[in-house]
Amino acid sequence: MSQFSQTNSGGIDYRRRQKVARLLQHLVILLGAAVLTIYALAPVTWLVSSSFQTEAEIVSVPPHWIPEEPTLQNFEAIFSATEEEEITYETRSGQDPASGGYIPSTAKNLIPSMWNSLIVASLVVVLNLLVGVPAAYALAKIRFWGRDASVYFILITRVIPDIALVVPFFLVIRKLGMLDSLGSLVLTYLAVTVPFSVFILVQYFEGLPDELDKAARVDGCSRFQALLRVFLPLSLPSLVAVVLFTFLTSWNEFLLALMFTQTEASQTLPIVLAAFTSDFTISFSFINAAGVLAIVPPVIVAVVFERYIVSGLTAGAVKG
């Protein structure tokens, strides 16, 4: 490129213009990167910052952007709030929400709810893999009668809005006596995760050469053995993507959990968190600390597995 403009007539002029253009481009990129970083991180940073502030500091006007006396008391409160402590109207009003930092009775549910979230998410992940992998292999590598119909069927189930499933789910689950159980969550989360998982896996399997499948079968593999011994070992990146997406979706899900859970036996983290926000007596510093706890695991997962997530999003085109 640059040699060409130099050898052209009026080379110096071109060189200069190109230099200016390149400088301008760098400037725009730098500016864009700065704006994007601030846009994406400022709100989270503010949340994290205020979770390290005392109740007294958090109510200052204008706000302290950086805590002057950083404290871990909000987090300590969460982790120590496990023992049963009767909270009555008296003990509640005995603490001044403006200065003392009121810790709600539901605080002790926070850690168990994280466990609930973890259990539900793990089960959903396992089930997704169990039903998703064989289905994806069949759709990607077997030319069978009804394949296109199956693909469209799965795609259609993917666009059913979760809110349209709430009423029928609720009535069925109530009839089965499964309200307020982790099982009901696992089942219903399958509806919002399986179609997407199948989609990611199909896209990946399609990318593996058909001849590999043929070679395996001529070499003596049944369909099942070809999947198990040839495709499964090769599909690790897509399996990781499925695990990540399914896990994050389950971990973050709110609407269905709100409908089907009632007590700490099944409440997941988002539910407990949401309960805090509707209680005006709870101090913001405590809520923020809880929010940070909810944010940390998925963000770590996203950052560590960035490569798999981006490729999974690319393959699956859109998260369902």
Partner 1 sequence: MARIRFENVEKKYANGFHAVKDLNLEIRDKEFLVLLGPSGCGKSTTLNMIAGLEEVSDGSLLFDDELVNYMPPHKRDVAMVFQSYALYPHKSVYDNIAFGLQMRRAPREETDRRVRDAARKLEIEHLLDRRPSQLSGGQRQRVALGRAMVREPAVFLMDEPLSNLDAALRISMRAEIKELHQEMQTTFVYVTHDQAEALTLADRIVVMRDGVVQQIGSPGDIYERPRNTFVASFLGNPPINYIEGQIKVTDDQMVRFVQGELELNFPAETAAKLADCDGLTVLLGIRAEDVEEGSHGGAGAVLTGKVNSVLPVGSDLFLGFELFGNELFFRVGKDIGHASGDEVSLTVDLNRLHVFDKDSGASLIW
Partner 2 sequence: MRHLFGYEERSAALFLAPVMLVLMGVAVFPIFYSLYISFFRIKLTRPNRTPFVGLDNYTDLFTNELFWVSVVRTVTFSVVSVTAIAVIALLISLLLNQNFRGRRVLSTILLVPWAIPYVANALMWKWIYDSGYGALNGVLYQLDFIDKYMIWLGDQDKTIFLIANAFVWKEVPLAAILLLVSLKSIPSDLYQAARVDGAGVWQRFIHVTLPAMKPGFMLVMIYETMMAIRHFDLFFILTEGGPGDASHVLSWHIYVETFRNLSFGSGAAMSYVLALVTFALSYVFIRTLGRRI
Q: Does 194 bind partner 2 (CB under 8 A)?
A: yes
Q: Does 101 bind partner 2 (CB under 8 A)?
A: no
Q: Which of positions 205-244 make contact with partner 2 (CB under 8 A)?
A: 206, 222-224, 227
Please select the residue that binds partner 1; options are 4, 39, 145, 280, rule is CB under 8 A: 145
Q: Does 289 bind partner 1 (CB under 8 A)?
A: no
The set of residues, in sequence order, having a beta carbon less than 8 Å from that of 122 and lying 6+ positions away, is 247
134 vs 201: CA distance, rounded Å: 10
- ∠ CA(120), CA(126), CA(128), 5° rounding? 100
State the nearest-atom distance from the C-beta of 50 to partner 1, in Å: 49
Please select the residue that binds partner 2; options are 168, 177, 209, 233, rule is CB under 8 A: 168
37 vs 52: CA distance, rounded Å: 22
State the nearest-atom distance from the C-beta of 310 to partner 1, in Å: 22
Please select the residue that binds partner 2; options are 66, 68, 146, 220, rule is CB under 8 A: 146
Q: Does 36 bind partner 2 (CB under 8 A)?
A: yes
Which entry of partner 1, partner 2, none binds 221, CB below 5 to 8 A by partner kind?
partner 1
Q: Does 168 bind partner 1 (CB under 8 A)?
A: no
**Span of 66-74, 107-115, 230-238, 268-276 interacting with partner 2 by CB under 8 A:** 268-276
Which residue's CB is nearer to partner 1, number 24 or number 215? 215
Q: Does 202 bind partner 2 (CB under 8 A)?
A: yes
DSSP secondary structure, 284-308, as one string: HHHHHHHHHHHHHHHHHHHHHTHHH
Please select the residue that binds partner 2; options are 59, 87, 179, 240, rule is CB under 8 A: 59
Q: Does 142 bind partner 1 (CB under 8 A)?
A: no
Please select the residue that binds partner 2; options are 110, 187, 216, 282, rule is CB under 8 A: 187
Residue span 206-235 as binding mask against partner 1, x where in contact by CB under 8 A, dash where not? ---x-xx-xxxxxxxxxx-x---xx--xx-
Q: Which of positions 115-144 make contact with partner 2 (CB under 8 A)?
A: 127, 130-132, 134-135, 137-140, 142-144
Which entry of partner 2, partner 1, none binds 209, CB below 5 to 8 A by partner kind?
partner 1
